Amino acid sequence: MTNIGSTGRLAFRGAVAMFLSAVLCAAPAAVQADPGSADGVAVNEDGILTVGYVMIGAESDWRLACNRSVAEAFTRANGYSLLVNDAQQKPEKQIKAVREFVNQEVDYILLNPIVESGWEASLEEAREAGIPVIVFDREVDVRTEDAFTAWIGSDFYLEGKKSCAWLEAYLAEKGLEEEPLGIVHIQGTPGSSAQIGRTMALDDALTRHPQWQLLDRQNGDFTTAKGKEVMVDMLARLGDRIQVVYCENDNEAYGALEAIREAGLTAGPDLQAGQILLMSFDAAHNGLQLTLEGKIAVNTECAPLYGPALTQLIQSLERGEMLPEKQYVQEAQFSGLEKPARVEVEGEIYDVTPLSQELIDRRKY
Ligand code: AHR
């Protein structure tokens, strides 16, 4: 797991944590069900915490790593019974899953939201039932501060800003900063924090650079299949006007690369030679391999291994400790190119980590 940086405001969450802890102490013993299923038969068992995981799906390499990390951390040996409800990328299924876990009287709910909106009512039901909800990875957009107990996840807007800062620095390095640039954008699931933050950063950059032209923008839903489908369509309509593809995750980049190859074109950083420069997010194992090969020019990390941090949050709540309101995970940026070696975002300098095969071989996902 990456290091966790935290942002202040402990007191309010702490009070909620202590209150919930008191409520839970007075509640009946934990409900336990068949591992890995939200439909299991509930029985009481002392000493085991039942945790309902409202999962997004299995759309990407990143998501598989995230789900695996949760499953590996919340084992019976570690004192948990994990119930998983896979929403298969359907927001309405997630809301239903929260309600089902409330009805099952689980001890904690882990919520990995597909989209930010639509959470008021179901989170209020969990709150009224005294069940702490830990939101992670993406965010929920709610009016009340105490709608959930804790949040840990990515700063997707910063990820996008680092990515665009890399492109700016790369173009300057090549003396191309004043040249017109044709960009296509493959977005992630609409309404998800990852899509919102990464898209906002590109929009900001487009405003700063009037010579950059956004040729097209389509939803790739964070999947290889959809990424390929939209890239095929864009190539058919826009052909060699496409110089840069801003993909919102690695799987979309895999799909875009297939489409580029099948169209007889070449992905790579050499814009002057007519190559198509790909930008991606996640930095999963295969994404990094393609980045080392230059097929992806820059890959901005999104950290997926939440399991250990989530168990730590629950253990803190069990001890009645105060929790930070928000915790951002630290994330790196990778390129197979030597330059730029660092990027600047709003006065902050971020290193671009040079890739090596050894680093990729150590990557667990
Ligand atoms: O929320 C994290 C994003 O969702 C990752 O970038 C992506 O791969 C995933 O599906």
60 Cα–ligand 1 center, Å:
7
Residues 6+ apart with CB under 8 A from 238: 182, 184, 215, 216
What's the mean pLDDT in 61-65?
98
**CA–CA distances in Å: residue 83 to residues 52, 53, 137:** 5, 6, 19
pLDDT digits (tens, 9 = 90+) for 229-268: 999 999 999 999 999 999 999 999 999 999 999 999 999 9
d(CA 207, CA 230) in angstroms, rounded, equals 24
**β-pair type (244-247, 31-32):** unpaired
CA distance 365 to 361: 10
C-alpha–C-alpha distance, residues 321 and 317, integer Å: 6
Let me know: does 148 contact 133? Beta carbons within 8 Å.
Answer: yes
* pLDDT at 4 > cutoff 90: no
The pLDDT value given to residue 10: 33
In whole numbers, what is the pLDDT of the chain averaged over residues?
Answer: 89
Residues 219 and 194: beta-carbon distance below 8 Å: no
Which atom belonging to ligand 1 lies closest to the Cα atom of 138? Answer: 1
Best probe residue, ligand 1, of 54, 63, 112 (max atoms within 8 Å of C-beta): 63
Instruction: Give the separation between CA 247 and CA 105, rounded to whole angstroms.
Output: 40
Hey, what domains does the chain have and what are their CATH numbers?
6-148 (3.40.50.2300), 156-303+331-362 (3.40.50.2300)
Instruction: Locate the ligand 1 atom nearest the alpha carbon of residue 192 and give its number.
Output: 1
Q: Ligand 1 center to residue 194 CA distance, Å?
A: 7
> Is residue 333 a contact partner of residue 100, using CB atoms and an 8 Å limit?
no
pLDDT band at 145; cut points 50, 70, 90: confident
pLDDT at 191 > cutoff 60: yes
Whether this prediction's pTM lies above 0.85 is answered by yes
- For ligand 1, which residues put their CB under 6 angstroms from it? 59-60, 62-63, 137-138, 194, 222, 249, 281-282, 302
What is the model's pLDDT at position 26? Answer: 27
Mean pLDDT of the 166-193 span:
98
Q: What separation in angstroms does the CA of 74 have from each of 53, 85, 96? A: 10, 14, 22
CA of 279 to the centre of ligand 1 (A): 15
pLDDT, mean of residues 65-70: 98
Q: How close is the Cα of 38 to the center of ligand 1, in Å?
A: 23
| Ligand 1 atom with least separation from CA of 137 | 1
Q: How confident is the model at residue 37 (pLDDT cuts 50, 70, 90)?
A: very low
Q: Concatenated DSSP letters for 110-164?
A: EE--SSSSS-HHHHHHHHHTT--EEEEES----SSGGGSSEEEE--HHHHHHHHH
How many angstroms separate the alpha carbon of residue 262 from the centre of ligand 1? 26
- Whether the predicted pLDDT of 22 surpasses 60: no
Q: State residue 45's pLDDT score.
A: 56
Cα(349) to centroid(ligand 1), Å:
24
Residue 352 in this model has a pLDDT that exceeds 90: yes
On whether the CB atoms of residues 106 and 97 are closer than 8 A, the answer is no
- Residues 88-109 have a mean pLDDT of 98
